[in-house]
Amino acid sequence: MAFSFLVYTVADRVATITLNRPEKRNALNGQLVAELREAFQAAAADEAVKVVVLAGNGEAFCAGADLDYLQQLQKNTYEENLTDSRELMQLFREIYELDKIVIARVEGHAVAGGCGLVTLCDLSYAVPEALLGYTEVKIGFIPALVAVFLVRKIGEGRSRELLLTGKLVTADKAAADGLITAVVPAAEIGAHVAKVAMSLCKEASANSLKVTKKLIGTVLDLPLGEGLLHASELNAATRGHEDCKRGIAAFLNKEKLTW
């Protein structure tokens, strides 16, 4: 699969999507957004893929919107900007709702839309040197799309601090706020992410991961009673799934099961 601005590879049931504009600090533009959508759709459709890793080549994970791209947006009509915004919206939603686990490997700064990409991932690991944040308000813009997901992820209070101040925070602060999963030294992060991905591939049912991820993404939208009813229905349905039958049989027979 050929791309201009990213690299897509699959090995050992892990698809790795690597932003590949190091000379532009992996900044986003219309073409990169389109390529990201295509890559995530390819991973979604590939039955051999169980986990997706999102990374960036070069010094930055992603510096947000490309400067040339920002200049072009100033010339667009409202309708053109709405169409463009909805393309990014679709990318964000496709990552968030992907029925496979997405892990961010953040080996450099993640700013604005770049930090938005990190926000969408199920798990994320960053090097200590990385700074993360949503700087949109500092250029008269707004972190509109990411706000929808960030509030769900870390709550209103911490979201207000990050989105309204526009300040960049350290990886340690991001981890403390729940924005990322953990901080990992640069020399270890590649191996660490690979180990997490392989653990998910070998030690967890694909169906269980898919259903659990979907439940986490929908339960906040439901009143407590409806959420519990929905959860009980998923619970009952999962008991009849072949993965559950295999898993329980292996557990009862004290057999090691590799998924």
CB-count exposure of residue 51 (10 Å: 0-12, 13-18, 19+): buried
CA atoms in the 13 A half-sphere facing the CB of 54: 27
| Spatial distance between the Cα atoms of 103 and 124, rounded to a whole number of angstroms | 5
Coil, strand or helix at 16? strand
Of 130, 1, 8, which is closest to residue 63 (Cα–Cα)? 130
Give yes or no for a contact between 29 and 66, defined as CB atoms under 8 angstroms apart: yes
How far is CA 3 from its chain centroid?
Answer: 20
Query: Distance from first CA to last CA of the chain, Å, rounded?
Result: 27
Q: Strand pairing partners for 19? A: 6, 56
CA atoms of 203 and 126, how far apart (whole Å):
23
Is-catalytic flag, 156? no
Q: What angle do CA 48, 200, 229 make, to 5 degrees?
A: 100
How would you classify the pairing of strands 131-133 and 169-170? antiparallel
Catalytic, out of 35, 87, 107, 136: 136
Q: Annotated active-site positions, please?
A: 136
